[in-house]
Amino acid sequence: MDFKYSEEQQRFRRELQDFLEEELRQGLWQPSCDAWIMGFDPEFTKRVAQKGWIGLTWPKEYGGQGRSYVDRLILTEEMLRYGAPAGCHWFADRQIGGSIIIYGTDEQKKEFLPMILRGEARVGLGMSEPEAGSDLASLKTRAVEDGDGYIIDGQKVWTSGANQMNWIYLVARTDPDAPKHKGISEFLFEASLPGVTVNPIIDITGRVHFNEVFLDGVHIPKKCLIGEKNRGFYQILHQLDYERSGMERLMGNYPLFEALIKYTKETKRNGKPLSEDPLIRSKLAQLKIEFEVGRLHMYRIAMVMDEGRAPNWESSMSKVYGTTFEQHLANVAMEIIGLYGQLSPESKWVPMLGMAHESYLSSKGYSLQAGTSEILKNIVALRRLGLPTQ
């Protein structure tokens, strides 16, 4: 048992920090919360790609670096710590590339992997539908074989990143007569095809991350099918393990945590910094303790993946843990700033660039997206603890 980073990993972390510090010094972007899903900066993504930091864990034969998942966690941890605008490549790097490596044909690998590595694949995730949320297998979007391709009809909702996407990863029903889990397939196709309409959903923060996607007779070639026809539900479960498993579930709002600590040191009440108030000290220390325990949950997952096993209940457990932490962080930040928490980010008087206000609102969605906390606890109960279903 060993919790230390290797010298190479320590060097890698320093290299990342130096890179990000230099980017900040040059004023190329501003740190922000949720930058992994809200920060779209193609130039930043290009610079990250040039460093070889997309596809870090992919085998070298596919253009990756063949490095460990612990290395990748160090990479994502630093991106999140700095609030770097990594939205253009995050999804494709995190889960789409990996899925194509496992399930894709040689042709698909040749077509998509280099594009992802160059940071040019902005992929929207088309899973949920109006009648298929936690019960994803109930989805109704149809993909019907038609000559040399498929015709897709239906509607997706809460499609992450569709407003920015150039490709869409979509699950659709290919066998309506099969049991619902066994008639679903996965597709990856260009979002600009005729019949694809994206309708952004303005969320509680006033921003857009989720979208409705309408698919009206979209004709896609057969080569867009990823993996085995009608096995898509099982493939997507594997992908979801990766989607849920990352440091972004713990550190999406890390810039707020740092800003809050600074705020309590610099803000005086009754002539003393807030950070000297025992109640505030206790709250911040509790957050730090929860954060550090959360980091260990995340590193455990990376070690599981390095053993060659897909994280399963571990990623469900860590996502519930991480999003609970992020909600707690936002709540504590709002408590500490009191009346100022009401102020919108653009207000003259708002502290911490309005990050507390935004995180408080956006954190309501964290425990819903990529699997609700309730579904994830079910997974832990059934798969880790072996509790019965009936």
Partner 1 sequence: MDLALSEEQEMVKKMARDFLTDKLPKAVVKEMEESELGYSPDLWKEMTELGWVGLVLPDKYGGSGMSFLDLAVLLEEMGKACLPGPYFSTVVLGGLPIIDTGTEEQKQEYLPKIASGEIIFTLALTEASARYDANAIEVKATADKDDYILNGTKLFVPDAHVANYMLVVARTDEKAKAEDGITIFIVDTKSPGISHTVLKTIANDKLCEVVFNQVSVPKENILGQLNQGWSEVQKIVQRAAVAKCCEIVGCVQQALDMTIDYAKERKQFGRPIGSFQIIQHYCADMATDVDGARLSTYQAACMINDGLPCIQEVAVAKAWASEVSQRIMSLAHQIHGAIGYSIDHDLQYYTRRAKAAEVTFGDASVYRELVAQEMGL
Contact at 8 Å (CB) between 252 and 366?
Answer: yes
**C-beta of 145: minimal distance to partner 1 in Å?**
39
230 or 378: CB nearest partner 1:
378
Largest CA distance in the chain: 77
- Min CB(311)–partner 1 separation in Å: 13
**Distance between CA 232 and CA 230 in Å, rounded?**
6
Q: How far is the CB of 320 from partner 1 (least distance, A)?
A: 7
Distances (CA, A) of 136 to 7, 127, 141, 237, 295: 43, 7, 11, 10, 29
d(CA 104, CA 187) in angstroms, rounded, equals: 10
Residue 292 C-beta: closest distance to partner 1, Å: 5
* Distance in Å, CB of 5 to partner 1, minimum: 7
Chain centroid offset of residue 342 CA? 28
Spatial CB neighbours of 47, under 8 Å, sequence gap ≥ 6: 23
State which residue, 288 or 364, has the beta carbon closest to partner 1.
Answer: 288
Q: Taking a C-beta distance cutoff of 8 angstroms, is the pair 321, 345 a contact?
A: no
Shortest distance in whole angstroms from residue 31 CB to partner 1: 19
Task: Please give the residue ranges that form the binding site for partner 1 (CB under 8 A).
Answer: 1-5, 70, 261, 264-265, 275-276, 278, 280-282, 284-286, 288-289, 292-294, 296-297, 299-300, 302-303, 317, 320-321, 374, 376-378, 380-382, 384-390
- Which C-beta is closer to partner 1: that of 204 or that of 293? 293
Backbone angles phi, psi at 380, to 5 degrees: -60, -45
Q: 271 or 388: whose CB is closer to partner 1? A: 388
Looking at beta carbons only, is 2 or 107 nearer to partner 1?
A: 2
What is the closest distance, in whole angstroms, from the C-beta atom of residue 178 to partner 1 in the complex? 27
Cβ at position 8, least distance to partner 1 in Å: 12
Q: Which DSSP helix (H) or strand (E) runs through 45?
A: helix 42-50
Query: Which of residues 303 and 353 has its CB atom nearest to partner 1 in the complex?
Result: 303
Q: Phi/psi at 196 (nearest 5 deg)?
A: -95, 120
Please give the C-alpha separations between residue 57 and each of 62, 65, 338, in angstroms, as whole numbers: 10, 6, 44
Nearer to partner 1, 38 or 287 (CB): 287
Q: Distance between CA atoms of 165 and 98, rounded to whole angstroms?
A: 18
Give me the least distance between CB of 3 and partner 1, in Å please: 5
For 233-316, strand residue ranges (E) read: 268-269, 272-273
**Distance between terminal CA atoms of the chain?**
38
At residue 387, φ and ψ (nearest 5 deg) are -70, 150
Give the Cα separation of 95 and 77 in Å (integer). Answer: 17
Q: Which is nearer to partner 1, 49 or 260 (CB)?
A: 260
Q: What is the DSSP letter of 381?
A: I
Of residues 70 and 162, the one with the C-beta less far from partner 1 = 70
Q: Are 186 and 226 in contact (CB under 8 A)?
A: yes
Do 161 and 91 meet the contact criterion of CB atoms below 8 Å apart? yes
Minimum CB distance to partner 1 smaller for 62 or for 299: 299
Q: Quick one: tokens of 336? A: 């500490």
DSSP 151-169: EEEEEE-S-BTGGG-SEEE
Q: How far apart are CA 376 and CA 314, in angstroms?
A: 10
- Minimum separation from the CB atom of position 75 to partner 1 (A): 15
